[in-house]
């Protein structure tokens, strides 16, 4: 008896569903039972976005954060950093033939469309003239790049080079090393896993982590470029603090807010990031600093707008520094 009832119930349900799913005009899809799951509420990557203050959906990652497993890369795109990277960077793992084969796959996916299978620059995007003819991809097997160390190529892949974009965010560190090993061994015919090359400085061959730690210290130590080489801080001078604050309001507040990022970085905590002499030199001659000092160069890279020279005297800059000491 129960079975029969169940079958009947099922039949009734089925016919109800059939009736419901019939529609007189066929250009209507019928009912959405859960519309919020059918239609995505997500913003498109390049659409305008009312949620964020700058109206962009694609947000830059918070400064100082990075995805899991990513390693900080302290060399920006400047050529001297490429050379430095070339002299100091080695893959953390010893490369073996397996890596070369894996590198080949990655190369085919990520590089051969421009550089060609042979590396000579005859990739499809070039031969099909999808790029203007003025774009030259260069030949990965030419003398200059055969001489370039693996670290230099790592720099090229990580931050990009000229017209070529960067792969720092697309390819993991290890994948970049694998591609490089493939280029070196198969395209350039070099020895596998050779960790040194012409121009290599053994004094700089410290482990990657040690190098990272040292360079972080160098950044703390640097005085920047300018007349000031040391500053003694001593106990807080209240008179200077108020004079410094007034100067800051008059000369700097168009670009700096004391505790918030604005056109330039917030001075809050600047004494933890930089040496006091560096700060004074930056205030005295920012143009020289962004040209010659590596930290200031990186800052300019990040903030894009250059800092304006306010023609302050050294003692005025020192008073502003005193005011910075009181920020919290």
Binding site for ligand HEC (CB under 6 A): 110-111, 113-115, 125, 135, 137-138, 140, 145, 153, 156-157, 161-164, 167, 179, 183, 251-252, 254-256, 263-265, 267, 270, 273-274, 279, 282-283, 286, 290, 299-300, 303, 305-308, 310, 312, 320
Nearest to 263 by CA among 320, 311, 302: 302
Nearest to 224 by CA among 155, 152, 304, 307: 307
Nearer Cβ to ligand HEC (198/203): 198
Nearer Cβ to ligand HEC (228/279): 279
Least separation in angstroms between CB 280 and ligand HEC? 9
Least separation in angstroms between CB 269 and ligand HEC? 8
Nearer Cβ to ligand HEC (135/225): 135
Residue nearest to ligand HEC (CB): 162
Nearer Cβ to ligand HEC (90/156): 156
Q: Are 86 and 199 in contact (CB under 8 A)?
A: yes
* Number of other CB atoms surrounding residue 155 within 10 Å: 27
Nearer Cβ to ligand HEC (56/164): 164
What count of Cα atoms within 13 Å lies in the side-chain half-sphere of residue 62?
2
Nearer Cβ to ligand HEC (32/227): 227
Give the position of tokens 């056109």: 263
Least separation in angstroms between CB 279 and ligand HEC? 5
Least separation in angstroms between CB 142 and ligand HEC? 8
Buried b (16+ CB within 10 A) or exposed e, 175-212: bbbbbbbbbbbbbbeeeebeeebeebeeeeeeeeeebe
Least separation in angstroms between CB 300 and ligand HEC? 4
Q: Are 154 and 176 in contact (CB under 8 A)?
A: yes
Q: Are 91 and 177 in contact (CB under 8 A)?
A: yes
Least separation in angstroms between CB 25 and ligand HEC? 49
Cα(117)–Cα(52) distance, integer angstroms: 44
Least separation in angstroms between CB 209 and ligand HEC? 25
Nearer Cβ to ligand HEC (228/312): 312
Nearer Cβ to ligand HEC (71/246): 246
Cα(290)–Cα(281) distance, integer angstroms: 11
Burial of 222 (0-12, 13-18, 19+ CB in 10 A): middle
Nearest to 211 by CA among 65, 324, 77, 87: 87
Report the alpha-carbon angle 197-200-201, nearest 5: 155
Least separation in angstroms between CB 20 and ligand HEC? 52
């Amino acid at each position: 008896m129960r079975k029969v009832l169940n079958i009947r119930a099922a039949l009734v349900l089925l016919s109800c569903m059939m009736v419901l799913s019939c529609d007189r005009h066929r250009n209507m899809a019928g009912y959405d039972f859960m519309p919020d799951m059918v239609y995505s509420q997500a913003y498109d990557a390049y659409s305008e976005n009312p949620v964020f203050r700058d109206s962009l959906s694609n947000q830059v990652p918070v400064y100082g954060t990075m995805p899991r497993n990513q390693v900080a890369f302290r060399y920006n795109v400047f050529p001297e950093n490429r050379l430095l990277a070339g002299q100091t960077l080695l893959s953390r793992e010893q490369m073996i033939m397996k890596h070369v084969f894996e590198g080949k796959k990655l190369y085919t996916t990520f590089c051969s469309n421009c550089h060609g299978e042979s590396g000579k620059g005859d990739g499809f995007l070039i031969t099909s003239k999808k790029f203007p003819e003025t774009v030259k991809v260069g030949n990965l097997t030419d003398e200059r790049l055969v001489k370039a160390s693996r670290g230099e190529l790592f720099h090229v892949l990580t931050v990009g080079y000229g017209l070529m974009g960067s792969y720092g965010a697309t390819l993991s560190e290890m994948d970049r090393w694998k591609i490089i090993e493939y280029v070196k061994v198969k395209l350039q015919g070099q020895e596998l896993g050779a960790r040194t090359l012409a121009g290599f400085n053994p004094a700089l061959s410290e482990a990657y982590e040690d190098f990272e730690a040292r360079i972080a210290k160098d950044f703390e130590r640097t005085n920047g470029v300018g007349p000031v080489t040391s500053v003694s801080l001593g106990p807080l001078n209240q008179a200077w603090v108020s004079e410094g604050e007034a100067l800051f309001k008059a000369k700097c507040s168009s670009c700096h807010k004391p505790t918030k990022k604005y056109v330039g970085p917030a001075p809050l905590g600047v004494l933890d990031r930089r040496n006091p002499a560096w700060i004074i030199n930056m205030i005295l001659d920012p143009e020289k600093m962004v040209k010659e000092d590596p930290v200031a160069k990186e800052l300019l890279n990040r903030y894009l707008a250059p800092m304006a020279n306010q023609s302050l005297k050294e003692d005025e800059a020192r008073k502003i520094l005193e005011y910075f000491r009181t920020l919290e």
